[in-house]
Structure 1
């Protein structure tokens, strides 16, 4: 068996939830950076639960976002003809902007939002090259600097403001790897109005690429975050959620306005409807709470 890479507890839970198998046929992995299919690396697709949202009535598809030194790919979905749509950044899982993340964008677009999901580690590697999850984590995901991620999200906001979005009504949501990023971005961008973090890491080791964790940032949070977590998440114990709650209560006004919902029996990645970790009740309730959060704050 391939030795797991040195990664944080939240990503360790993600890694463990995908075993077995570790090794995948190249033809089954992500075909492109913005993949049309689901990420085979996530394990077998649960066809009877995977949700597909049509793009009728939407402007949806791949775009490129200018960043320092070039541009990065992204997936955009918004109501057709919209000129002042509120903007929601959608932050990927470890598998990139694949079909599930694109579908989340379309779901939000049907609610009236410009949803934009940039590829946030495209500089570190092309995910289609990888046939082992451990190598994807150690060679790509673990090498993505937080500073780069935050700068790319800022660039995405700028792009959205020039392409039919109202960036004075700005939100962000993300899953697993992206859930942690939601907390970071809430402490980074003073224009942010609301965030929804799905089972994102809250603590862990720091290093040059990840100098601070969400627990270190509560004093700087600019917008309330709704945290949606599983009580049966092996990488994010409920004790850690409680620790974050206590820290938020001592933080900024926006931090104090943040909320958590913990679904007692839900595992990590309970919203990922294309995977065996999916829990329909928790996912549906969390999604409705997320929409209500954005409707109230944006």
Structure 2
């Protein structure tokens, strides 16, 4: 069921953007013509920001039906500014494993019902953890985790650390890490990719920090971001 969502509970207005209601409402971008595949974009701690929306737009330009679930929807689906990290983290900490599992599954079901092509899951930071969770619980064309959280210690009670999910993957998985990101243990993830299963790899972008991908925000590194997407597309072509 479609609806027009007039605005986030907090953050930039959403006027004129198409949102679909599932377990969590979805930001949706449709390609021109019949979709040749689908994508689920899982946001980081700051919510469905302009950056998350732009990733959906880019994937739609590539011919995919792209959606991003508002994982904070029970509080209005907000997006937070860079200076509101503490508030954003409080929203993240308030999420539950069961609700997140339903939200990710529902987003995948929405896309799967509307395309017969391959489906990609891509996530950033906390969304990178969820993309890794999806790789362990669903069969998709590929899951990509950029600067994933939850390595070494799970981000929420009741879920395993990210490296265990990588080891138990059911779908191809790629982790893209910043070389200067000291919050993610690349060695743990790399060891997990050696477990039997679909293809898996870790790519390290030299000198990039944790939030290098966040366009228009402190820490954004456009050169590192372009390199990360180059490596993502190379992995997807395999």
What TM-score comes out, normalization by structure 2 length?
0.85
Cα distance change of structure 1 residues 146 and 273 upon mapping to structure 2, 3 Å threshold: same
CA distance in 1, matches of 2:127, 2:45: 8
How far 1:274 sits from its partner (Å)? 1.0
1:169 aligns with one of 115, 118, 123: 118
2:183 aligns with one of 215, 232, 235: 235
- The SS at the match of 1:104 is helix
**What corresponds to 2:101 in structure 1?**
150
Ranked by relative contact order (alpha carbons within 8 Å, sequence separation 6 or more), the top structure is: 1
CA distance in 2, matches of 1:96, 1:280: 20
**What corresponds to 1:262 in structure 2?**
204
Matches within 5 A, 1:19-34: 32-33=8-9
- 1:270/1:283 contact within 8 Å kept: yes
- 1:290 and 2:238 correspond: no
Matches within 5 A, 1:187-202: 187-189=136-138, 191-202=139-150
**What corresponds to 1:78 in structure 2?**
30
- 1:34/1:98 contact within 8 Å kept: no
- 1:65 and 2:21 correspond: yes
Cα distance change of structure 1 residues 34 and 114 upon mapping to structure 2, 3 Å threshold: farther
**What corresponds to 2:89 in structure 1?**
137
For each residue in 1:95-127, what CA deviation from the matched residue of structure 2 results, as whole angstroms up to 9, or x when unmatched? Answer: 111211111101111111111101113225653
Cα distance change of structure 1 residues 107 and 247 upon mapping to structure 2, 3 Å threshold: same
- The SS at the match of 1:144 is coil
CA distance in 2, matches of 1:225, 1:206: 18
How far 1:224 sits from its partner (Å)? 1.6
Q: Which has the larger radius of gyration?
A: 1
- The SS at the match of 2:59 is helix
**What corresponds to 2:53 in structure 1?**
102
Segments of 5+ residues of structure 1 without an aligned counterpart are 1-30, 39-59
**What corresponds to 1:3 in structure 2?**
none
CA distance in 1, matches of 2:205, 2:155: 31
Cα distance change of structure 1 residues 103 and 128 upon mapping to structure 2, 3 Å threshold: closer
- The SS at the match of 2:74 is coil
- 1:111 and 2:62 correspond: yes
How many residues get paired? 230
Segments of 5+ residues of structure 2 without an aligned counterpart are 1-6
For the aligned residue pairs, the C-alpha RMSD in angstroms reads 2.7
Matches within 5 A, 1:43-58: none
Deviating more after overlay: 101-110 vs 260-269: 260-269
